[in-house]
Amino acid sequence: MRQSVESYRLGTISRRDLLRALITATGSYATAHLFLESSGLAQSVVSQREAEAANVNAESVEYPSDNATIQAYLARPKTSGKHPGIVVIHENRGLNEHIRDIARRFAAEGYVALAPDLLSRVGGTGAMKTPADATEAINKLPLFDTLDDLKAGLDYLGKHAEVDSAKLNSIGFCWGGWRSFTLATMAPNLTHAVVFYGSSPDTGFERIRGKVLAHYAEWDYRITGNALWTEEQMKKAGKSYQYHVYPQTEHAFFNDTGPRHVPDASKLAWQRTLDFLRQ
């Protein structure tokens, strides 16, 4: 296992290959993740070689939000010119390598992707010892602080020299899914909002200017069961809303570092997302 970790540090294997090797060696995802934590890699940044292979520039950035400084991860194409922007909103475990990887994937598709660390006001995800600590801290965050920090991130992205401010989007997963949807009710300049297994806001549909796409898991009953009500509310408000339910999947099926990952459903959801954002 140590050899796999060293290969990852040197950039000769990818994050996915590392995790796959550790799960094979330990027999479980949980034990593999504990080993990553003990190696100091649970929240590690991908090697520069992997980013370069995707023709992507990636860096840590900061932006202001009221009286706070928000840390974030910015991934952008190496090609010149103006690009659409997208805010990538993390799950309830903070800004981890899975979310950074999604930001890089968007950059490889031609987007400038900003992934804010919404734990910045309490020290940042990197200050948390375990994912469970990050979840506990996230559950204590004031609701409107997180929304304000996302709105500030969208403003920061819109002012970036390489971003087309007329093409601003958001995507959120789990805890971040509701925030992606809710951001659409707050930001009239948001053209598309994507929700992965996230709840819908209770109100504010009439304020949405952009289009909304949602991906739900068949066995994620509490969240997926709300899709019909959401569809009705969006229709009443005259807004664009489409959703897909993926058979035989659970919450977090898109997370390729987790035990519920379903590759075929993830691939389809990713392609649908890209097609939607190009509308």
Instruction: Quote the Cα angle for 133-199-224, to 5°.
Output: 115
Q: How buried is residue 264: exposed, middle or buried, by Cβ count under 10 Å (0-12/13-18/19+)? A: exposed
Give the contacts of 88 (CB within 8 A, at least 6 positions apart). Answer: 99, 102, 103, 106, 113, 114, 115, 170, 171, 172
The domain defined by 56-277 folds into: Rossmann fold (3.40.50)
User: Looking at residue 21, what is its pLDDT?
Assistant: 79
Q: Which residue do the tokens 């970036």 mark?
A: 160
The reported pLDDT for the residue numbered 3 is 78
Place of tokens 């934590």: 37
Q: What pLDDT shows up at residue 43? A: 46
Ordered mean pLDDT values, 10 residues apiece, the chain (279 residues)? 69 69 70 62 48 79 96 96 98 94 95 98 94 96 96 98 98 98 98 98 98 99 97 98 99 92 96 98
Which pLDDT score, from 0 to 100, does residue 70 have? 98
Per-residue confidence (pLDDT) for residue 17, from 0 to 100: 75
pLDDT at position 28 = 61
Q: Compute, in degrees rounded to 10, the torsion defined by CA atoms 218, 219, 222, 226.
A: 10
Integer Cα distance of 69 and 195 in angstroms: 26
Single-letter amino acid code for the residue at 266: S
pLDDT of residue 11: 58
Q: What's the confidence (pLDDT) of residue 55?
A: 84
- pLDDT for 278 equals 97
Nearest to 181 by CA among 243, 265, 113: 243
Residue 39: per-residue pLDDT: 60
**pLDDT for the residue numbered 178:** 98
* Structure confidence at residue 88 (pLDDT): 99
pLDDT at 45: 38
Q: Where are the domains of the chain?
A: 1-42, 56-277
Residue 115 phi/psi, 5° resolution? -115, 95
